[in-house]
Amino acid sequence: MPNYTVKLTCKREIAEGTMAFYFEKPDGFTYKAGQFARLTLVNPDETDGEGNSRTFSFASAPYEDDLIFATRMRDTAFKRVLKIMEPGTEIRLNAPYGSFTLHDDESVPAVFLTGGIGVTPVRSIILQTLHDHVRHRILVFYSNRKPEDAAFLDELKTSCDRDSNCTFVGTMTRMEASGREWHGETGVISKAMLFKYMNDLKLPIYYLDGPPAMVGAMRQILSEAGVDANRIRTEEFSGY
């Protein structure tokens, strides 16, 4: 896979404990919405047993000018270095990888079941799909403990609300810990919640991604609902 050197252009906090990092897109570099990259720090001031590289999904959509990655800022050497990185700093990008990309058949609905930082490839796919006016019926179920934790929440909701083919369902599992108002769903994504928004659970292709425990729980719900395993696509963020 090709290697590129890319420059950080800016960084910002996008949810509690979660930051987005924007990098210049190298000339001629292309990727598909939903794919991922291997990022490597160049001569970092510190390192640890996990080394200087991490895998991140593109949170950016391919039509956007920058490459965007978003991550939970845990206290590891890699993320400490990333957090204080100055705009203009170069890192190595090895990409694109992966096949967690939208199916071609527009007559088959796409249902995204995601939570927490698993939202990154979902943002990429949804924004690109809406931008391209692709006509798939799309449902996005996005679970977090509270709105403060939910990266890209308002952007995804607003983008979906503008397109009648797209339905966004946010759900919060610990609203008692929140200081914000919330008018969406509460509780974990469940079979009952899916049935509230969908008549036929067996027709769509499902996209499950995020920490392995969440992907496992979602797969279990779909299996109990009789969804064929061939209709389920997953991307597990190992390392969480």
Ligand X SMILES: Cc1cc2nc3c(=O)[nH]c(=O)nc-3n(C[C@H](O)[C@H](O)[C@H](O)COP(=O)(O)OP(=O)(O)OC[C@H]3O[C@@H](n4cnc5c(N)ncnc54)[C@H](O)[C@@H]3O)c2cc1C
The b/e string for 210-230 (b: 16+ C-beta within 10 A; e otherwise) is: bbeebbebbbebbeeeebeee
CB of 55 to ligand X, least distance (A): 4
CB of 85 to ligand X, least distance (A): 14
Return the range that interacts with ligand X (CB under 6 A); candidates 65-73, 144-152, 154-162, 180-188.
65-73
- Interface mask (CB under 6 A) for ligand X, residues 193-212, using x and -? --------------------
Among 11, 19, 57, 146, binds ligand X (CB under 6 A): 57
Contact status, residue 147 vs residue 180, Cβ threshold 8 Å: yes
The SS3 of residue 157 is helix
The structure tokens listed for 47 are 């390192």
108-127 residues in contact with ligand X (CB under 6 A) are 117, 120
Q: Is 81 in the site for ligand X (CB under 6 A)?
A: no
How far is the C-alpha of 232 from the C-alpha of 214, rounded, in Å? 14
Q: Is 22 in the site for ligand X (CB under 6 A)?
A: no
How far is the C-alpha of 220 from the C-alpha of 204, rounded, in Å? 16
CB of 112 to ligand X, least distance (A): 14
Q: Which residue is nearest to ligand X (CB)?
A: 239
- Where does this chain bind ligand X (CB under 6 A)? 36, 50, 54-57, 70-72, 74-76, 78-79, 117, 120, 235, 237-240
